[in-house]
Amino acid sequence: MDSLIALFFLFLLGWFWLDSLRAREIAIGICRAACEQRDLQLLDQAVALQRIGVRRTPEGLRLRRVFRFDFSEEGVGRHSGTLVLRGIELEDFSLGLPDPGTDV
């Protein structure tokens, strides 16, 4: 019985690791596309996991991951943005910049 519990724990750990890698790759792809669309430069070509939690959705429980990434406008300065994935679906994306259509 103990070996069955250990095997289940290893399976669960492996699933979590692979799911985290997939979520990270999806987050990087979303950040790259958003930066290209706005003529920004994604710095370090990476995202960093800032927070992880569990959320209840109509489909059931889903992991909610908050990623942070850095970008630059015209290669000058360094700004931080956030991206939230619920499962592997985009929940929120923020660059923290004013909307280009509004006057400041």
pLDDT, one tens digit per residue, over 43-84 is 988 999 999 999 988 888 999 999 999 999 887 788 999 999
CA 53/CA 93 separation, integer angstroms: 17
DSSP string, the chain: -HHHHHHHHHHHHHHHHHHHHHHHHHHHHHHHHHHHHTTEEESTT--EEEEEEEEEETTEEEEEEEEEEEEEETTEEEEEEEEEEETTEEEEEE-----TTS--
User: Rounded mean pLDDT of the chain?
Assistant: 89
8 Å CB contact between 28 and 47: yes
* 2: confidence class by pLDDT, cuts 50, 70, 90: confident
Other CB atoms within 10 A of residue 47 CB:
26
Domain boundaries, the chain: 2-94
Beta bridge partners of 85: 65, 90
